[in-house]
Amino acid sequence: MLNLYFSLRLKLLLPTRQSSALLHTHDCTIPSPPLTKQAFTSLLKSSSSHPNQLKQIHALLTTTGLSIKNSLITQLLTSFILLGDMTYARRLFDEMHKPRSFLWNNLIKGYVKNNLSIEATAIFGQMQRIGVHPDQFTFPFVLKACAELDDLWGGVEVHAHVVKFGLDFDAIVRTELMIMYVKFGELVSAEYLFESMTLRDLVAWNALIAAYVQTGHAGKAIWRFRQMGSAGIKPDSVTIVGALSACAHLGCLEIGKQIDQFVIDEGLESNVFVNNARLDMYAKCGNMDMARSLFNKISQRNVISWSTIIGGYAINGESEKALDLFSKMEDEGVQPNHVTFLGVLSACSHAGLVSKGKNYFEYMAWSEDRNIQPRIEHYACMVDLLGRSGHLEEAYDFIKSMPIEPDSGVWGALLGACTIHQNIVLGPYVADVLFDLAPETASYHVLLSNMYAAAERWDDVEKVRRRMRKKGMKKIAAYSSVESNSEIHVFHGGDRLHPQSESIYKVLEELIKQMKGIGYVPKTSAVLHDVEMEEKEVTLSTHSEKLAIAFGLISVRPEYPIRVLKNLRICDDCHTFSKFVSRITKREIIVRDKHRFHHFNDGVCSCKDFW
DNA sequence: TTAGGGTTAG
C-alpha cells in the first residue's frame, strides 16, 4: 500500500503516457508535492477501467481532504457505475454531501442496468422523501425498474408522478410508460398511450412492436407492423428484427419471406441482429434449408447466430447436423455460451442420444477454459434426455444429486417422461412435488390425469379433476393455426367458427374413412373423459390440429407443405393421423408443437415417433 | 450532465 501511495503520487506529477512505465521502475521515496485537481482528473481517466486502482485513488483522496473532493468523487462514482460495481458506487454516493440530481439519476440508471431494480426504486423513494425533484432523465429508468419487478401498482404510482411533473407528453418517458404497460399485460393502457402520443416516431413504433413480441403478443406485433406501413413510416432494422421475431413465434413463413425480401431490397443484410432474426424465423418456420443457406451466406456471425442455427436443427430433429455445427463452431474459435449448450443438449434429447448428451454436459461444465456452470435449464434438459429415453430412475437420481435446488421445470421434465413411459408409480409422486412447487399450474394436473386416464383409473382421474375444479384451475385451451395467403387461421378443438367449417369437416370425415380402410385405428386413450367409445372418437376426430390440417388441404397450394403450429404438444392420435394424411394425400405436413417440429412425409415422421 | 426500440433459450 505504501509503495502504491508513492506510485500514485509520482504518477500525478507526470504526464499520463510516461507514468505507467515509471510506476514499475521507481523504488525510492518521492517528495510529496501538493495534489491538484487536474492531476487527479487525469489519473482517474487513465484508471477508469481498473477498479482496484480507482479504489486506491479513492483512499488517497480521503486522506488529502481536498476541497475539490465532491467533483472528484463524482468522477469516481461514474466510473464505478460504468464498471457495474454498484456496491462501491453506493458507498461513494453516500459519502457525498448533497449529491446533484443527475447523480441520483445516474445511480438509478446503474442499478437498473445491473439488474438491481429493487435498489433503483428504493433510490427513487429516497429522492421523494428528501425532496429531490425527479426529471425526464429519472423516469425512464424508474419505469424500467417497475416493469422488471412486475410491480404494477408501483408503476402506476410512478406514472402519477410523471403526470405531476408534467412529463407525460415527453416522447421518451411516454415510450417507456407504454413499454411498461405492455409488460404488465395492460395492453389497453399501453395502446392508449401509443395512440394519444403527439410525436409517434419510429422508435415508439419499434418499441411497441418489440414489446408485443417479447410478451407473447406476436399477432399484435404483425398487425402494428402492417399498420406502420399503411401510416407511411418506413421500417428500419430494429422494426425488422421485431417483425421477423413475430413471424418466428407464429410460424408465419409467407409473411417472414416477404420481410426477408424487404431486408434484401433495403440493403439491411449486413446487420447481425437482422440476420440472426432471419435465421431464427426460417428455423422456427421449419425451413432449415433456407436457414442453412442463409447461415452459409452471412459474413458476420456471432455466438447467437451459431446458437440459433444449432437450436434450429435441434427442434427440427436434425440432431446430427446440430452437433456437426457445434464442432465446426469450436473449430472456428467461436466460444459457445450457455444457450448454445441448451441447443446441443436438446439435440441429444430429441434424438435419444443419452451418452452423447451426458458427455456434452460434462464437457460444458468441467472444461477449465470454458467453465460454463450448468444452469437450472441445463439440468432440466438432462432430466428430459434421461427420462424421455426411459431412464426414469437415473433421471430421478440425477435430480437428487443436483447442487442447486430443482425447480418446477426440472420436475416437470420428469413428470413428462413418466407420462410417456406410463410410470404410474413415480408419476404421482413427482406430480405431488410439483403441486407443492407450482400449485397454480394446471398442466401438471393435466399430465397426471392423462396418466391415470391411460391406465383407465377413472376414479383417480376424477380426483385430480375435482382438485382442479376446487382450485378454479382451467386447462390451457389447445389451439392450432395454419398460415394461408399471409393470413393466420386459428382452430380450437371441435369449433365451427371458421367460414369454411362445412368443407373442413367434410374433408376430415372423408379422410378418416379412407384412413380406416388402410389400418388407422383412433387411439381413444388420448381422450381423457370416461365416456362411451363412439363419443371418444368424435372428440378425438376434431382435435384442433386435425381441423387445421384439413383446412390446409383445401387452402394451401399443393406444391407447398401444410404448416401447422400448435400451442401444446401433439397427441398420439394426431401424430398417427398426420402420418396417414401425408401418405394418402402425398402432401408434406409440418407440425410445430410446443417443443419441437414434426415433418410428416409419405407416412413417416421426422421425429421417428420419439418425442 | 445524464434519456426511448433489436437476435438465441427459458
Q: C-alpha grid cell for residue A551?
A: 383446412
Domains: count for chain A: 2
Asked if strand B comes closer than 7 Å to A274 Cβ, the answer is yes
Map grid coordinates 510529496 to a residue. A32
Is residue A180 situated within a structural domain? no
Confidence of residue A369 (pLDDT cuts 50, 70, 90): low
- Strand B interface, A 528-587, C-beta < 7 A: none
The backbone torsions φ and ψ at residue A402, rounded to the nearest 5 degrees and listed phi first, read -65, 140
Question: From the CA of A143, how many Å to the C1' of B2?
Answer: 16
Domain presence at residue A251: no
Alpha-carbon distance A111 to A109, whole Å? 5
pLDDT digits (tens, 9 = 90+) for A2-40: 343 334 433 433 333 333 333 332 333 333 455 677 778
> How far apart are alpha carbons A271 and A237 in whole angstroms?
8
- State residue A563 phi and psi, 5-degree precision: -105, 120
Q: Find the nucleotide nearest A235 (Cα to C1′).
A: B5
A257 assigned to some structural domain: no
Q: Which of A97, A118, A139 is the last residue of a domain?
A: A97
- At A65, the pLDDT band (50, 70, 90 cuts) reads low
Strand residue runs (E) in A451-596: 479-484, 487-492, 562-566, 589-592
| Mean of the per-residue pLDDT values of chain A | 89
- For chain A residues 275-334, those near strand B by a CB cutoff of 7 A are 276-277, 280, 284, 302-305, 307-308, 311
Dist CA A185 CA A191 (whole Å): 11
Give domain status of residue A446, yes or no. Answer: no
CA distances for A184 relative to A117, A212, A497, angstroms: 16, 11, 31
Question: Which of the 8 DSSP states describes residue A565?
Answer: E
Q: What is the pLDDT of residue A14?
A: 34
Whether the pLDDT of residue A384 is over 90: the answer is: yes
Name the nucleotide nearest A78; use CA and C1'.
Answer: B2
CA of A62 to C1' of B1 (A): 24
Closest nucleotide to the alpha carbon of A200, via C1': B4
Q: What is the pLDDT of residues A475-501, one digit of tens each?
A: 888 999 999 988 899 999 999 999 999
A103 CA to B1 C1' distance (Å) = 9
Q: Compute the distance between CA of residue A332 and CA of residue A314 in angstroms, rounded to an integer.
A: 20
Contact A221, A242 (CB under 8 A): yes
- The integer distance in angstroms from the CA atom of A291 to the C1' atom of B8 is 14
**Could you tell me if residue A130 is inside a domain?**
no
Residue A15, pLDDT score: 36
Q: Which three cell numbers stand for residue A536?
A: 371418444
Residues of A from 197 to 256 whose C-beta is within 7 A of strand B: which are they? Answer: 199, 201-204, 206-207, 210-211, 213-214, 236-242, 245, 248
Query: If pLDDT is split at 50, 70 and 90, which confidence band does A97 have?
Result: confident
Query: Is residue A170 domain-resident?
Result: no
- How does residue A431 score in pLDDT terms, banded at 50, 70 and 90? very high
What secondary structure, in 3-state letters, does A53-73 show? HHHHHHHHHHHHCCCCHHHHH
Final residue in a domain of this structure, among A68, A97, A126: A97
Cell numbers 449486413 correspond to: A270
Find the DSSP H helices in A316-391.
319-331, 338-351, 354-366, 376-388
CB A427 within 8 A of CB A411: no
**Residue A223, domain member (yes or no):** no
Beta pairing class for A589-592 and A562-566: parallel
Q: Which protein residue's Cα is closest to nucleotide B3 at C1'?
A: A137
- Pick from A403, A393, A401, A326: nearest CA to A357: A326
Residues 144-163 of A with CB under 7 A from strand B: 144
The closest nt to A342, taking CA to C1', is B9
Grid coordinates representing A61 are 483522496
Distance CA A34, CA A434 (A): 67
Chain segment A190-208, per-residue pLDDT in tens: 999 999 998 899 999 999 9
- Alpha-carbon torsion A369, A372, A378, A382, what sign? positive
The closest alpha carbon to A591, from A192, A263, A285, A323, belongs to A285
| Of A22 and A131, the one with more pLDDT | A131
Smallest CA–C1' separation from A377, nucleotide: B10
- Tell me the Cα Rg of chain A: 30
Q: Is the predicted pLDDT of residue A546 greater than 60, yes or no? A: yes
Range of the domain at A574: 489-605
CA A310 to C1' B5, whole Å: 27
Return the closest-CA partner of residue A44 out of A19, A22, A67, A63.
A19
Q: Where is the domain boundary, A81, A97, A113?
A: A97
Is residue A84 predicted with pLDDT exceeding 70? yes
Distance A377 CA to B9 C1' (A): 9
pLDDT for A41 equals 82
A499 burial via Cβ count (<10 Å: 0-12, 13-18, 19+) = exposed
Q: Give a yes or no: residue A11 inside a domain.
A: yes
Strand, coil or helix: A166: coil
Q: CA–CA separation, A472 vs A497, rounded Å?
A: 27
Residue whose C-alpha is closest to residue A224's, from A245, A210, A237, A236:
A210
* pLDDT single digits (tens) A100-128: 999 999 999 999 999 999 999 999 999 99
High-pLDDT (> 70) share of chain A, %: 91
Q: Which of strand B's nucleotides are less than 7 A from any protein C-beta? A: 1-10
Could you check: is the Cβ of residue A412 within 7 Å of any atom of nucleic acid strand B? no
